[in-house]
A and B are shown apart, each in its own frame.
Chain A
Amino acid sequence: MSGHSSYVPKTGFERWLDARLPIIRLTHDSAVSYPVPRNLNYLWTFGGILMFMLVAQIVTGVVLVMHYTPHATMAFNSVEHIMRDVNYGWLLRYLHSNGASMFFVAVYVHIFRGLYYGSYKAPREVLWILGVVIFLLMMATAFMGYVLPWGQMSFWGATVITNLFSALPVVGETIVTFLWGGFSVDNPTLNRFFSLHYLLPFMIFGVVILHVWALHHVGQNNPTGVEVKNVQKDTVPFTPYATIKDIFGMVCFMFVFAYFVFYQPNFMGHADNYIPANPAVTPAHIVPEWYFLPFYAILRAIPDKLGGVVAMGAAIVVLAFLPWIDTSKIKSMSYRPIGRQLFWAFVVVCIGLGWLGAMPAEGGYVIASRIFTALYFGYFVALFVVGLFERPKALPNSIADSVLGSLQGGSGARVALATAAEPNAKG
């Protein structure tokens, strides 16, 4: 995808620097001249939005640490100190706590976009797996961050999640003790979670660099799933085309983000986390943050302790194997009549699991959770099977064709348009 560099140093200094550290060339090649398929829709702005959210979380987080005290007896009050006394502390704290939720909103859109358009398929397998790694790191970071205010949900969330490891045979108990640094969740646990919560975002940042590198090496997927054939006709330069579109997408996203921060700052949190941590009593209804709910439902669906943990882990890890599970040669679900229905069923299943994760683990909810868990994994089996016999719709010849074709007529005329489109493109 990436041809040779089109960067031409203009000034003497640029030439001097370019011979020593070609950083301007790197920036130019990856953020200015980098060719972007011209038919990307707004779902493709979520990569940029996620980059923005990562930076926003790091910036607000670093600032919050200037006022936060990681100690079991002081953490709760230090967060309240931020909310009450620090200049704009309430804003920074609400930005950070709601930012975590918005980060997950964006990452789920990003993941489902990849699922729909088959962005995991060759040659993007490594790009996709790096994405799964980022997702895992995000989950770990968010979980440990939620522990830091040391409220009731913090404490009991930490207790429940760390106890998952006790399901492992032989070494389980030892691992849990080592996670805690004691015999229960306590101050040492808070301290190490704080340390790791500060570290992991920078690891995420590192993997994001690899993710973007892999992306720029293989090039972006696009709504047709047809690879770029002619850079001149199929693509536009990243700047200004993708830049301005991404920024517009980001501002729209910020609008939603700001709405929650300023008008509903506690909507996505739990009231119980405004009660200081208390090892003597568990809240009546303990649930994780909304973005973990589908996985939490899978965990609870399996009646066996180890089985539940394995199922939950598998639900995430299975994503990494998608490039080889999906047997279809066609990337975009737009051209897969059965695959598309499967995809939308999968979306419904995930939302259903999320809802079940928030319900108490009793009666019909448990049965429903089991059915939905089976359906969740069923999606991957179905993708494998359906790909073997599904008859896809006709693909456009090229990205340029699909763009110009969609203007001029129905999908059936696409192949015929391939030649007719030539003069139009020069317009």
Chain B
Amino acid sequence: MSKISFRSAAFGLLLAALPLSAQAAGERVIPPELSWSFSGPFGKFDRAQLQRGYKVFKEVCASCHGATLLRFRNLSQPGGPEFSAGQITALAATFQIKDGPNDEGEMFERPGRPADPFPSPFPNEQAARAASGGAYPVDLSVIAKARTYERGFPKFVFDIFTQYQEQGPDYLAALLTGYKDPPPEGVTLQPGQYYNTYMPGHLIAMPKPLNDGQVEYPKGADGQPQVPETEAQYARDVTAFLVWAAEPHLEARKRIGLQVMLFLLIFGGLLYYTKKKVWSRMPDGSAAH
């Protein structure tokens, strides 16, 4: 069985372990709508935010979660965090990648290259489970598109026009900061369970991942970090990074989209008048209705 099916099977088991019945889903707390730089028709990623987000991902998330659809080279491609090619080559080389077999039939480790995928923190699902108290940390490559919540009528109709589609990131950012310790009264937690306001059913196997001051951010000229090193800021930055990871061509899509829409508008206008012109005369030369 492949890595993918393992990953998914494991994710399923994680969910199955939680009381995700229809009733529990009904208790869902809707995450607040945050404002994101990449939302709307002209949305773009904030490079500095993506770079910070990658730092949070690498130092916090990646110790348990993989993102195997991502490759180091992605970090330098246009529309992403846009690290320089040199930075990426150096970064990749800090990882040891398993390769082989060599001529002796042995697997060996070598420094990473930009074309390599992000390495998984665990060699296989069983190892991941064993290290994580039985729960499986899901792959985060497309997590921002794989998580959502029901918008309901009539909101989902308005969403077509407002272009609101950030259910995924709103949920992720809320989840990362939605821990309650101690849990509300009346909730008893089993060992390895934590209380999270935004998790469907509220019980989550992932311990609170982010704390103030945990990740050091790049300093500005005054020696102070450009953004506060707080849990909320980390959550937003890493969520933005995960949105980019799930949709790396988002910027190109919106940019080309604008060009296409403008073209169709002009072409449609020309066609409209051409059509009117054609229909102004009937074939026998008489005026149309």
Which residues of A have CB within 8 Å of B147?
271
Known pairs A244-B274, A271-B168; A254 contacts B264 (CB<8 A): yes
Residues A255 and B265 in contact, CB atoms below 8 Å apart: yes
B residues 264-286 near A (Cβ < 8 Å) are: 264-265, 267-268, 271-272, 274-275, 278-279, 282-284, 286
Residues B275 and A281 in contact, CB atoms below 8 Å apart: no
| A426-B74 Cα distance, complex, nearest whole Å | 68
| A406-B289 Cα distance, complex, nearest whole Å | 9
How many A residues face the partner with a CB closer than 8 A? Answer: 57
| A262-B255 Cα distance, complex, nearest whole Å | 9
| Interface: B8 (CB within 8 A) | yes
Of chain B, the residue at the smallest CB distance from A355 is: B153
| Interface: A251 (CB within 8 A) | yes
Which residues of A have CB within 8 Å of B187?
none
Known pairs A84-B248, A271-B146; A263 contacts B7 (CB<8 A): no
**B271 touches which one: A244, A267, A275, A406 (CB < 8 A)?**
A244
| Interface: A258 (CB within 8 A) | yes
How many residue-residue contacts, CB under 8 A, span A and B?
140
B66 → A minimal CB distance (Å): 13
| A413-B256 Cα distance, complex, nearest whole Å | 53
B120 → A minimal CB distance (Å): 14
Known pairs A73-B2, A248-B271, A281-B12; A262 contacts B146 (CB<8 A): no
> Which of B4, B167, B287 gathers most chain A CB within 10 Å?
B4
| Interface: A306 (CB within 8 A) | no
Which residues of A have CB within 8 Å of B110?
none
| Interface: A427 (CB within 8 A) | yes
| Interface: A195 (CB within 8 A) | no
**B286 touches which one: A255, A267, A360, A426 (CB < 8 A)?**
A426
Known pairs A263-B163, A274-B146; A279 contacts B9 (CB<8 A): yes
A-B contact pairs, 12 of them (CB 8 A): A83-B249, A245-B279, A248-B268, A265-B253, A266-B145, A274-B146, A275-B8, A276-B4, A276-B7, A285-B25, A285-B150, A404-B289
Closest 4 CB pairs of A and B: A262-B257, A281-B12, A73-B2, A278-B8
Binding site for B on A (CB under 8 A): 38, 72-74, 76-77, 80, 83-84, 90-91, 94, 152, 232, 236-237, 240-241, 244-245, 247-248, 251-252, 254-255, 258-259, 261-267, 271-272, 274-281, 284-285, 355, 360, 362, 403-404, 406-407, 425-427
Binding site for A on B (CB under 8 A): 1-2, 4-5, 7-9, 11-13, 15-16, 20, 22, 25, 41, 69, 74, 141-142, 145-148, 150, 153, 159-160, 163, 165, 167-168, 200, 246, 248-249, 252-254, 256-258, 260-261, 264-265, 267-268, 271-272, 274-275, 278-279, 282-284, 286-289
7 new A-B contacts, CB < 8 A, other than A77-B4, A271-B148, A406-B289, are A38-B282, A84-B249, A236-B283, A244-B279, A248-B271, A258-B260, A278-B12
